[in-house]
Structure 1
């Protein structure tokens, strides 16, 4: 269904999510579709975000293009003209209008993206994370994929580009949703959706997804084992979890719990060693657990840009010793682990 223009989520959310809800009903998940409708009604109508109208106005300022598509296999996920001979917006008078609308959705944290040749240089080079993770994944072709804490949906597009038949991202942030929709409006038929909900809002023991990603989420959880159990509950038997999170160098049993902040973040609870994290996954019932990558986060991968003008990683490290955070803890080290739910 073509999304109404201008967008008003309090009125048009049913049109936005109708393809997904219809798909769920057609695949034997009518109960989840009904639950989801009630959650979206609450999110957009009963308890809307105070800035939602401003973000909707920015979205509504995006130029209309009758024939465009999203190219999900580029480092910068790109919106481009659908026909080779269609005039590109970068060559016309619409680029100032396009940039003004997209800047109304700042700050852009996860990406990068490109809109008709206009580069949106996000805080995170999320393509670098994808390049580290992708070589170790099972083939996503034909899979139904969940991305927990997906932000603006950058990795959702890359998952679809890797062959997934349907990708659902979940993140409660409505600014992230509006950023995602700024791409989706140009490729409305793409089987990629972002739901403004949390993993705790999903049906219990739904066993719906072939692959579930949780990247950059675990250390924000007060109960990390419960998060792992929530992830397992979303998976079909034999399904794969991809877990990327902060870790510390250390042996099994070692875990850092910051006294207050970590790298200026308040909501960081537990940072285990990779060996400890393997044990956590095993205790949560996963099998075939392996660490596929450990990488220090550099100030080239996470940094302030013209599209995210607040403080970033370089401001969160000890200026006299960048191997430590501002609080004196080890600088951010991230690990990716892949495991499987038993059949």
Structure 2
């Protein structure tokens, strides 16, 4: 896995990344220690099986399913070996992907979220972008497909990193997308200020016990004038100012603060962001998040009131997601 960073350090050619180059190698070594996750040897074995198939320069990062090794020349036996290796990375939550014509139908239609977010972004061409809580890296590939100069994903999940490296193997090093198995809080902050033109935090804020600290941590990674894209669960305005679930929300224990859009706007402005606006609000449907052959565990439909999909099984408003876009002052 460490070979993934051979070209990464060379791309950190701005002095604002000096602290990253000094501090990240040791942090990554700790994160990738074999004793850190008991499943890691199994995932590494499956990754080696994937790497027995030659890289393929044929890929498409600008369609719903990130597609690599198009028009596969593998025979049926080879495809079965590859598919068995890919299924070792269950559950596949964010996607979809197509690898050697094997379609990985992930739990989430992450392409639907991208279609809601992308029209409202400053053009990514030539920009350095950071994606916090990137999961398998689906959106990283879409960012790279939009000609980002550098796309860095951050997520402590080694399963997600393994899934990302599957795609990286076939796509190769010419596409500047990288995965850090860390948390936002672990990232060094440059003494010259942030280094990224655009920072994404999608589906993370409501998992944070201190959402204001999370917003400030995102801000610290942005260049002056940079753009923050924050996507998170919210509550309808008529429900109130803020929801703090008593225990679980949609069967998730690690959900803390769900603000209204107005309250979230206030948080972002209070943290010093400018031109704060909600560019999209959408209730998650059971077609967007669902159980599939590649994610066989329970999914959204199980977590909603069976009599009323506008409520969670606990009686709270069903998942409603807002996309907020704002600027860090110059």
Q: Which of 100, 123, 136 in structure 2 is aligned with 1:116?
A: 100
Aligned CA distance change for structure 1 residues 47 and 91 (closer, same or farther; 3 Å): closer
**How far apart are the structure 2 equivalents of 1:95 and 1:55?**
19
> Is the counterpart of residue 73 in structure 1 residue 73 in structure 2?
no
Give me the whole-angstrom Cα distance separating, in 2, the residues matched to 1:253 and 1:289: 20
Give yes or no for contact 1:79–1:183 (8 Å, CA) kept in 2: yes
Q: Cα–Cα, structure 1 residues 46 and 111, in superposed 2: closer, same or farther, change >3 Å?
A: closer
Shift in Å, 1:204: 2.6
After superposing the two structures, state which structure 1 stretch, 52-61 or 299-308, moved more.
52-61
Please say if 1:34 is aligned against 2:22. Answer: yes
State the match for 1:60 in structure 2: 48
Secondary structure of the corresponding residue to residue 329 of structure 2: coil
Q: Quickly say closer, same or farther: Cα 1:321–1:251, change in 2 above 3 A.
A: closer
| Structure 2 residue aligned with 1:171 | 155
1:126 is aligned to 2:110: yes
By how many angstroms is 1:127 displaced?
Answer: 0.2
Superposition misfits of 4+ residues, deviation over 2 angstroms: 26-31, 45-48, 66-70, 89-93
Distance 2:61 2:146 in 1: 8
The answer as to whether partners of 1:219 and 1:271 remain within 8 angstroms in 2 is: yes
2:178 to 152, 171, 193: 193
Residue number among 128, 134, 143 corresponding to 2:127 in the alignment: 143
Whole-angstrom CA distance in 2 between matches of 1:301 and 1:75? 13
What is the deviation of 1:66? Answer: 4.3
Is 2:208–2:214's contact at 8 Å kept on the other side of the alignment?
yes
Do structure 1's residue 154 and structure 2's residue 141 form an aligned pair?
A: no
Equivalent residue number for residue 23 of structure 1: 11
Give SS of 1:294's match: strand
The worse-fitting range, judged by mean Cα deviation, of 288-297 and 27-36 is 27-36
How many aligned residue pairs are there? 325
Q: Distance in 2 between matches of 1:35 and 1:69?
A: 35
Alignment check: 8 A CA contact 1:251 1:276 kept = no
String of CA shifts for 1:37-61, please: whole Å, max 9, x gaps.
Answer: 0101111237531110000111111
TM-score by length of 2: 0.95
Q: Quick one: distance in 1 between partners of 2:276 and 2:137? A: 26
Give the unaligned 5+ runs of structure 2. none
Q: Which moved more, 1:316-325 or 1:146-155?
A: 316-325
Q: Residues of 2 paired with 1:247 and 1:323: CA distance? A: 14
Residue deviations 1:270-319, cap 9 Å, x none? Answer: 00000100000000110011100000000000000000000000000011
Query: Is 1:297 matched up with 2:281?
Result: no
Calculate the aligned-residue CA RMSD, in Å: 1.6
Q: Which residue number in structure 2 is paired with residue 274 of structure 1?
A: 261
What's the CA shift for 1:64?
1.5
Aligned pair partner of 2:209 in 217, 222, 238 = 222
Deviation at 1:200, TM superposition (A): 0.3
Q: Distance in 1 between matches of 2:9 and 2:104?
A: 31
Counterpart of 2:89 (choices 82, 87, 105) is 105
Instruction: Name the SS of the counterpart of 2:131 in structure 1.
Output: strand
Write the distance in 1 (CA, Å) between the matches of 2:43 and 2:56: 24
